Amino acid sequence: MRGGAMPLLMLPMAVLMALFFGAFAVFGFVSFLQPASGMPGYQGPLGLSNYLRFLTDPAALAILGETIVFAIVVTLASILLGYPLAYIMARSPYRVVRSLLLGALVLTFLSGSINRAYGWLILLGRRGVVNDALLALGLVDRPVALVYNWTGVFIALLHFTLPYFALTVFGSIRSVPVQVEEAARDLGAGPLSTFFRITVPITVPAIISGAALVFSLAISAFAFPLLLGGGRVRLISNYIYDQLFVAFNLPFAAASSTIFLVVAIATLCAFFWLEGAVTRRRAAKRGAA
């Protein structure tokens, strides 16, 4: 390709990258400046004061910690719920079941977050369908608080992330030949044993990819905590938003963002290291056997 069209073709790409990452670079640079008093601007001198403020503020660190724990919980719930769902979609002998589940999942995937948040408000509110049903069945005496708290955000966010996880592992489960599962049955493994010894281990790389995807979505959640958290649930995105549009402290918002970005990237790297470790463990076992 030397001397060919390659440099020319790379030009638009380079412009695009420069624009996208240029914005990040500017924001990152601003994080080292000071807020201009009384207005949404910034001024010199350069320094680490914004980072120090975040890392020494217990409230800010608590929000970051809560966000990470919450994202991990949502990720685990997506795995526990999404894997069986994907398995049924991939392996059910009934076409209707497969199409129905896949259809519902894709529909969820395509509908907007805001619509769904308001939908959950109607379903989970004090006078919502779920509470009406619980009261009518006599399971509870008073309406249960299902929204404007962590529960509501968790339910809505899980609903949002589930299709991402299920669709990621669905393809992987589908690519495991049925004969491989049959071979396990034939050699004496029951259905559960086959599931846990054969299907799940073969699809571990897809589980990790799906989990990384869900984790990235959960850790950066903004609309669901805003609309369903009732002010009580604030994740890191909401915190940054407030610094930017309520406190008008642009440099501090930038520093908070950068810290969040570093933590998120580090966690994703951990996921990919884990995926590599699974492969390495298989390779190591080969060396030892």
Partner 1 sequence: MPADVTALELAGLRKSYGGQAAVREVDLRLPRGALLTLLGPSGCGKSTLLRMIAGFVEPSGGDIRINGRSVLALRPERRPTAMVFQSYALFPHMTVFDNVAFGLRLRATPRVEIADKVRRALALVRMDAFEARFPSELSGGQQQRVALARCLVVEPEILLLDEPFGALDRHLREEMQVEMRKLQRQLGVTMVVVTHDQEEALVLSDYIAVMRAGAIEQFAEPIELFDRPTNRFVASFMGVSNLVDGIVERDGEVSFRFPGGARLPVVSDLPAGPATLALRPEAVRLCAPDDAACRLTGTVAFTSLVGSRMSCEIKVGETVVTALVPRHGSGPAIGERVGMALAAEQLQLFAR
List interacting residues with partner 1 (CB under 8 A).
177, 179-180, 182-190, 193, 197-198, 201-202, 204, 282, 285-287, 289
Nearer to partner 1, 126 or 282 (CB): 282
Nearer to partner 1, 132 or 186 (CB): 186
Tokens of 194: 């086959």
Nearer to partner 1, 133 or 180 (CB): 180
User: SS3 of 34, please?
Assistant: strand
Nearer to partner 1, 22 or 177 (CB): 177
CB of 209 to partner 1, least distance (A): 16
CB of 200 to partner 1, least distance (A): 10
- Please state whether the peptide bond connecting residue 251 to the residue before it is cis, i.e. omega within 30 degrees of 0: no
Nearer to partner 1, 144 or 189 (CB): 189
Tokens of 75: 């990720």
Nearer to partner 1, 45 or 190 (CB): 190
Residues near 30 by beta carbon (within 8 Å), at least 6 away in sequence? 42, 250, 251, 254
User: SS3 of 35, please?
Assistant: strand
What is d(CA 173, CA 176) in angstroms, rounded to the nearest whole number?
Answer: 5
What is d(CA 17, CA 22) in angstroms, rounded to the nearest whole number?
Answer: 8
Nearer to partner 1, 184 or 211 (CB): 184
CB of 195 to partner 1, least distance (A): 13
CB of 15 to partner 1, least distance (A): 42
CA dihedral 113, 224, 227, 62 (to 10 degrees): -160
Query: Which runs of consecutive H residues, i.e. helices, occur in the chain?
Result: 6-30, 49-56, 58-91, 95-110, 113-124, 129-136, 150-174, 178-186, 191-194, 200-202, 204-219, 223-228, 236-245, 250-288
Q: What single string gives the DSSP state of each residue in 147-166? A: SSSHHHHHHHHHHHHHHHHH
CB of 21 to partner 1, least distance (A): 39
CB of 176 to partner 1, least distance (A): 8
CB of 208 to partner 1, least distance (A): 14
